Amino acid sequence: MRAFRTYQGHSGATVPARRRPYGRHNDPEAYSAPNPLRDVAQGVHDAAEWKAALISAGHGTRQVDMKLVKALRRQIWLQTRHAIDLSLAGRLWPGVLSRCPTPETRVFEIHGEPSEGKWKSHRVRQGVLKQDVLVIAAQFAREGYKVAVLNMASARSPGGGVQQGAGAQEEDLHRRTDLCRFTLLQRTGRYPIPVHGCLVSEGVTI
């Protein structure tokens, strides 16, 4: 049953529940008091319902309701964070994250001008595909390649505007992986990212 209530998003958007999916709770009696953020995070995600809500909000058109779109993105972010917490506690997908301690994110910085003597020359094949970067990364991984995904990140804000429902590439990566364990939870000493450097995070789980 879907309640006709409102959700006050971080962006300040008040969104009627009937216009977007909250998800269905496994144990409605487990909550002692109403808590919209907790309810969203702990709801069971319905992909078809969520997509329908996004389309009805006008996503990709000129008549878009950006407050609603941002609230829908924020819903995914909250559910992702909750799933990560459950997995780390061994209560969801046992062994996926709980047995894999978060590797330390390393700061890689170039000092001085690169020269031919410092860098080995490799033959590189380049191409442009109109496909999802994580789908392609997973495909290469299944084929046995060691894959690197470029996060076009904010130099100062881990995750960019993911907590506010922003929709750029970095925010999408954080909504769909456990990358927040490598950025938001390891920001001390790593942000701002050096001008001539980057952060290297190995073992990110999609």
Does the pLDDT at position 71 exceed 80? yes
**Which ranges of 2-145 does DSSP label H, i.e. alpha helix?**
36-42, 47-56, 66-88, 133-142
SS3 state at 200: strand
For residue range 145-199, what is the model confidence (pLDDT) as tens digits? 999 999 999 999 999 999 999 999 999 999 999 999 999 999 999 999 999 999 9
Q: Are 71 and 13 in contact (CB under 8 A)?
A: yes
Stated pTM of the model = 0.76
Most confident of 25-34, 37-46, 104-113, 173-182: 173-182
Three-class DSSP category at 106: strand
The CA radius of gyration of the chain, in Å to the nearest whole number, is: 20
